Amino acid sequence: MICLLTLPPVPLELKSPLSFRTRAQQQQHSHPFSQTLRSHTVPHKTLTGGGTATTTVANVALSEHNDLNAAEEDEPLPAELNEELMPNHVAVIMDGNGRWAKQRGLPTSAGHQAGSRSLRELVEICCKWGIRVLTVFAFSYDNWIRPKVEVDFLMNLFEREIKSQMQKFVSEGIRISVIGDSSKLPQSLQKLISEAEEKTKDNSRFQLIVAASYSGKYDIVQACKSLACKVKDGVIQLEDISESLVEQELETNCTEYPYPDLLIRTSGELRVSNFLLWQLAYTEFFFVKELWPDFGKAEFVEALISFQQRQRRYGARLS
């Protein structure tokens, strides 16, 4: 039994429109540290059904999402959510498959199967609601010590899922990227991943990043090695090594939005467990007690509502 704190609702007087990095601001400055909050008000828009997105603020985000309107009719944004305040990048630690299966007297593999269904649904919702990037922690570098039977099953599951979803990725403009130490994955899976990445590399509507055999610490170590090579080759000086150079070498350099705005972890665990490390510096965390196979649209909406209420200051102070 793990005691989980839910966030108290933020009192109205503490909320300020200036403190939110709106979708428009996030689009224009994907690096949070170069962001200066601008004082402009964006008319809040509540979508109750499909409809043309109109706004008095010209921004790239909304114009790019016009093509989603048709899709939005199938899955409109819930009334409680503000389209302007949607996160660009959501990260998820998909925890709890094993426990879900155990609760039902099923083998662990059944839990992972159920988990992959949850993921497919989340990808669909994210696509439809205009979230640009979803990064999921599918398999940690630390998970290789799990029983071989389970690991083999998971590798097979990844392969099956990529194959079965490939057509959908292509037709829906979804780009797939895989980060992590792929050298440890089975050859057939490595090949499939390369093909999938190549085939979808020009898709720009939505990006699914799958962290497999990934470790946040090792991501930094490999970035460090790259930088060391550059120093050795005289491309940069030792003193040039900076935060932005490190960021450019991390595996999340495959996306325009490397820093998640929101991290969701299911199953009640309150830790990051060596998922994205550098990238989570200013990410809002949302811990959910539901197990991953039970995480659906309702739980996602709850996470988004919580996210939209938060004041993100990045260390500075707003009066």
Partner 1 sequence: MGPIPNHIAFIMDGNRRYAKKQGMEEGAGHKAGFLALMKILCYCYELGVKYLTVYAFSIENFKRKPEEVQCLMDLMLEKIGELLKEESVVNQYGIRLYFIGNLKLLSEPVRVAAEKAMAATAKNTKTVLLICVAYTSYDEIVHAVQESCKDKRNEIEALYASKVSNGVTEGVEEGENINGTIEHDVQGSCESSLSKSQALNTTRACNGVIRVEKKKGVILHAVQGSCEDKWDEVMSRTSNGVTEGVADSKKKQWMHPTIKLVDIEKNMYMGVAPDPDILIRTSGENRLSNFLLWQTTNCPLYSPSALWPEIGLWHLIWAVLNFQQSHYYFEKKRKQL
Residue ranges binding partner 1 (CB under 8 A): 1-3, 5, 7-8, 14, 145-147, 216-218, 220-221, 223-225, 227-229, 231-234, 238-239, 241-243, 246, 269-275, 277-278, 280-287, 310, 314-317
Point out the catalytic residue in the list 95, 142, 202, 233: 95
Phi, psi of 175 (to 5 degrees): -100, 130
Instruction: Give the three-state DSSP class for 252.
Output: helix
CB atoms within 10 A of CB 251: 23
| Closer CB to partner 1, 58 or 238, in the complex | 238
Contact in structure between 65 and 53 (CB atoms under 8 Å):
yes
Q: How far is the CB of 286 from partner 1 (least distance, A)?
A: 7
Q: How far is the CB of 282 from partner 1 (least distance, A)?
A: 6
| Closer CB to partner 1, 111 or 200, in the complex | 111
Q: How far is the CB of 38 from partner 1 (least distance, A)?
A: 16
Contact in structure between 287 and 268 (CB atoms under 8 Å):
yes
Contact in structure between 61 and 133 (CB atoms under 8 Å):
no
| Closer CB to partner 1, 68 or 93, in the complex | 93
Q: How far is the CB of 302 from partner 1 (least distance, A)?
A: 14
Strand partners, 139: 212
> What is the Cα–Cα distance from 131 to 215, expressed in whole angstroms?
24
Q: What CA–CA distances, in Å, run from 270 to 4, 18, 163, 210, 267?
A: 8, 30, 33, 21, 9
| Closer CB to partner 1, 167 or 232, in the complex | 232
Q: For the purposes of burial, counting CB atoms within 10 Å of the CB of 241, is it exposed (0-12), middle (13-18) or buried (19 or more)? A: middle
Closest CA to 90 of 125, 140, 45: 125
Q: Is 261 tagged catalytic?
A: no
Q: What CA–CA distances, in Å, run from 175 to 8, 136, 315?
A: 36, 14, 33
| Closer CB to partner 1, 20 or 287, in the complex | 287
Q: How far is the CB of 208 from partner 1 (least distance, A)?
A: 23
| Closer CB to partner 1, 158 or 285, in the complex | 285
What the block records as the tokens of 286 is 């949302």
Torsion sign across C-alpha atoms 283, 289, 293, 298: negative
> What is the Cα–Cα distance from 3 to 18, expressed in whole angstroms?
34
Q: For the purposes of burial, counting CB atoms within 10 Å of the CB of 166, is it exposed (0-12), middle (13-18) or buried (19 or more)? A: middle
Q: How far is the CB of 311 from partner 1 (least distance, A)?
A: 8
Q: How far is the CB of 245 from partner 1 (least distance, A)?
A: 8
Torsion sign across C-alpha atoms 176, 261, 140, 217: positive
Contact in structure between 111 and 101 (CB atoms under 8 Å):
yes
| Closer CB to partner 1, 146 or 199, in the complex | 146
Active site residue ranges: 95
